Amino acid sequence: MGRFITRRVLQGILVVVVAALLIFLATFALGDPFASTGEKAVPPEVAALNRAKFGMDQPLVIQFLHYLGNLFTGDLGIDFDQRRPVTELIGAVLPNTIILGLVAMLFLLLFGVSAGILAAVRRYSFWDALVTVLTTVMIGIPVFVLAIFLVANVSGIGPFPPVPRSFTVEVPWYFDVLLPAFTLAVIEAAFVARLMRGSMLEVLRADYVRTARAKGLPERTVLGRHAVRNSLLPVVTFVGLTLGSYVGGAIITETVFQYNGVGYLLSRAIVNNNAPVIMAVVIYTVIAYVVLSLIVDILYAYLDPRIRLN
């Protein structure tokens, strides 16, 4: 297990370096960020001062190595626009994104897993058909359509804050997070329900379930202890990667709801060509993915001893 983890960590670092290189080259293809303010050219001398301030007068290779070196010491540089430390920018919005991700995950598991179990256990019943129809509809809805619908029709009503809400009106965090979290969860919950149903049906046909039933265990125990636990394997992978995307910031959802998280930060940085922020958020997302897939693998090993023994 220790060697397994070590290998995966080293792989992860390699992934981060390669991703850093790619995003570094991509953002530099955007062109000179200091050539103008709006439509007005900034005098060449002033632009040169800015390039020097951001180390952009160095050769590209040096810039990249410098960036990489800073990255591993936790220094993400300062942003082009307001000259604030990028770590501070991300740090300010990260808690919001984590809260959003966790609440969405809660919705996801609650709706997705239970609907999947229900559909599998009551196969071909009304409930099964209902879950199939609903999940088909849900999968078909683009996330921004749902988000815009909710912003237009639900936010501003009752306890839900209007978008944009005046920053001086404090709203309890749970009302702030509810709609975006629901938006994030509802579409992926459909995938989880489908996955859970398929996996559950397979497990229900397995020998050990038959054995358990033959032993005369109560159905509740059969399902809970044997079937559900074993059916969760594919769902865990999916949920792990989903969480990765949440942690990287649900760009569309956060942007439409103007939810002050990492995804909204990234979408603004892209619109404003704010390369240091774009690079930092992307790399941070890659790291989050690497860490989460490592956790998923370990969970896998825990859920299925065969993997652990191999």
Please report, as ranges, the residues that interact with another protein according to CB under 8 A: 30-47, 49-50, 52-53, 81-84, 89, 92, 144-145, 148, 152, 156, 162-168, 251-252, 255-256, 258, 260, 264-265, 267-268, 270-274
In terms of CB distance, is 237 or 260 closer to another protein? 260
Largest CA distance in the chain: 85
In terms of CB distance, is 13 or 60 closer to another protein? 60
List CB contacts of 299: < 8 A, sequence separation 6 or more: 236, 240
Burial profile 134-144: b = 16 or more Cβ within 10 angstroms, e = fewer: bbeebeeeebe
CA 45 to chain centre: 42
CB of 191 to another protein, least distance (A): 21
CB of 229 to another protein, least distance (A): 38
CB of 166 to another protein, least distance (A): 5
CB of 138 to another protein, least distance (A): 19
In terms of CB distance, is 32 or 219 closer to another protein? 32
In terms of CB distance, is 49 or 60 closer to another protein? 49
In terms of CB distance, is 186 or 251 closer to another protein? 251
CB of 23 to another protein, least distance (A): 14
